Amino acid sequence: MRPWIPTASVVLLLCLASFGCAGGAPSNAGSTLSSPPAPVTSPVTDPVTPQVTNAASVSIVISDPAACKASGGPFAHVYVTIADVQASTNAEAPANDPSFVDLTPGLSAAPQQVDLMGQANSHCFLASLGVGQQVSAGNYQQVRIFLAPDSRASSVSNNACGASYANCLVRTDNSLHDLVLPAAASQGIELAASHIINGSIAFNAGDQPYIDLNIDVCSSILATADGQYEFNPIVHAGLIPSTGSTISGTVVSSKTGKPLSGGNVVVALEQKDAATGIDRILMRTSAGSDGAFVLCPVPQGTYDLVAVGVDGASVSYSAGVEMGIQSGQLAGKIPLVPGSQQGTLEGLITTQGTAMNPLGVSLAVQADALQQIATNGATITVPLLPSQSPYNEAMLTMSASSCATGADCAPFAMQLPSSTPNVVACSEQTAQFKQMQGSSPGYTAESAAAIPGTGSTAACTAGSLQAPNGPVALGSGETAMTSAISFTQCQ
């Protein structure tokens, strides 16, 4: 296979960035992107296809600035094997609908394995999945990604998972585990409008767009109750701009102006959900020991950055929030205000079906903490630190004295900053970060629940619910209880 050589537009994409945001100086992390990306794996050479009238030349890349990689997280490698990527202009099209076009025809015959914990030299692409595929111009509102099942393991080139698995993970103890795909994976991983940056991917005839598939591997792995690992992929797609696709900066202590010593810092890139207005995490990464972070490639759009951290002395820091940053801008320095200890937000997940199950209900649960920013009323999702809180958790809700009458339940807990956020609006170039007033931050617990094996599609009546009592104040070292999050029809 020939090595991937980026076009001039992609070189510009990685080399150009606007100077500063909110008066911040460029971070050292940005300087590592002055050279073109070097994917870990070579791309598939697509077969020669007939020229399409009124067509664009589409290329597909994959990224994942993972925040749960060793040593801060539990995984050293996560290998997935991609067998196809398709797109449709019909947001409601079912799998195998004739409106789907194949963006990577070469993958169907030669699936490509990618380590989602891998690191490209540019901190950007992990791999190129297809280059220059001729596709009719249009407004594409749905993408489907197909993963190779274990039955194709023997046909995967240089399979890091061995002869039995097509998708697998390696823990920090070097143990290898199968990544079990849900039954729905045979229909493709569906990326609807809510998982496409700006709602759709549009290109005109003659365009040469690059589409990035960003897999949030930290939120995609479910450790099931029987000791297996299930892959429920959470993926976002978007067009990479031609004038800068990096957001980089440095996370520091507001007290010392220096990076946090030891511990762990996570930076999340968020964008408002069109339906709820809540900032949802699109990608996240860990800052290095020097405080530097790089989020790349970042599709065209306006985002919010949310950083949280705990240092090696277990001192908790407030969330640092930079509102309204655009792809290609430098975030500068994001100061986190030191507090003391983290707080713990606890609650109950309850389930109730048409008939109680004496064996309990097995659920794949993802819990989040929401926080409102008083300066503009925005609601952010506070990222969890991988060393302290799992992104996904397998739960078995059972009847117990703590449960409501006629319901099964299981507890959850999230460790969160116990001081109020430090916020700045990126659009105000001379503004300084300002810590919100109040002695204790308020958090609203939110959870999504699905039956394991169903994939990322929620199997309960309401796939995502907020705790009904609203924000709960959380002080340093305190444990606060939120009201139960109750799901129905989960059997």
Q: What is the pLDDT of residue 350?
A: 85
Q: Which residue has the higher pLDDT, 21 or 484?
A: 484
Question: Residue 231 CB: number of other CB atoms within 10 A?
Answer: 24
Best CA proximity match to 116, nearest among 157, 144, 162, 147:
147
How far apart CA 360 and CA 469 sit, in angstroms, is: 26
Best CA proximity match to 198, nearest among 294, 282, 296, 306:
282
Best CA proximity match to 465, nearest among 449, 480, 443:
449
Q: What is the pLDDT of residue 93?
A: 93
Asked if 164 contacts 149 with a C-beta cutoff of 8 angstroms, the reply is no
In 297-440 the beta strands, taken as DSSP E runs, fall at 302-310, 316-326, 330-336, 343-352, 361-372, 379-382, 393-397, 408-416, 422-425, 434-435
Tell me, rounded to whole angstroms, the distance of Cα 265 from its chain centroid.
Answer: 16
What digits encode the pLDDT tens for the residues 263-302? Answer: 889 999 999 888 888 998 888 888 989 999 988 888 888 8
Residues near 154 by Cβ (< 8 Å), separated by ≥ 6? 163
**Lowest mean per-residue pLDDT among 194-208, 264-278, 379-393, 434-448:** 379-393
Q: What is the pLDDT of residue 144?
A: 94
pLDDT at 426 over 80: no
How far apart CA 38 and CA 463 sit, in angstroms, is: 39
Containing 115, the helix (H) or strand (E) segment is strand 112-115
Asked if 435 contacts 422 with a C-beta cutoff of 8 angstroms, the reply is yes
**From the candidate CATH numbers 3.30.460.20, 2.60.40.1120, 3.30.930.10, 3.30.750.24, the one assigned to the domain spanning 247-336:** 2.60.40.1120
- Residues 164-193, buried b or exposed e (16+ Cβ, 10 A)? ebbbbbbeeeeeebbbbbbebbeebbbbee
Q: What is the pLDDT of residue 158?
A: 94
Domain boundaries, the chain: 37-239, 247-336, 343-488
Q: What is the pLDDT of residue 160?
A: 97
Q: Is the dihedral of CA 28, 32, 35, 36 positive or negative?
A: negative
Mean of the pLDDT values across residues 34-60?
55
Q: What is the pLDDT of residue 216?
A: 83
Q: What is the pLDDT of residue 12?
A: 29
Q: What is the pLDDT of residue 71?
A: 64
- The two counts, helices (H) then strands (E), for the chain are 2, 34
pLDDT at 314 over 80: yes
Instruction: Quickly state the pLDDT bin for 392 (edges 50, 70, 90).
Output: low
Q: What is the pLDDT of residue 368?
A: 85
Q: Which residue has the higher pLDDT, 401 or 442?
A: 442
Asked if 393 contacts 412 with a C-beta cutoff of 8 angstroms, the reply is yes
State residue 315 phi and psi, 5-degree precision. Answer: -80, 130
In 181-287 the beta strands, taken as DSSP E runs, fall at 189-191, 201-203, 210-215, 221-223, 229-231, 235-239, 247-253, 264-272, 279-286
Q: Is the dihedral of CA 68, 87, 120, 35 positive or negative?
A: negative
How far apart CA 129 and CA 144 sit, in angstroms, is: 14
The pLDDT > 70 percentage for the chain reads: 80
| Tokens at 403, concatenated | 């449960």
**Lowest mean per-residue pLDDT among 46-60, 66-80, 447-461:** 447-461
Q: How wide is the angle at C-alpha 43 spanned by C-alphas 107 and 125, nearest 5°?
A: 115
Best CA proximity match to 267, nearest among 283, 289, 290:
283
How far apart CA 145 and CA 371 sit, in angstroms, is: 32
Mean of the pLDDT values across residues 161-179?
94
Mean of the pLDDT values across residues 56-63?
91
Residue 347: strand, helix, or coil: strand
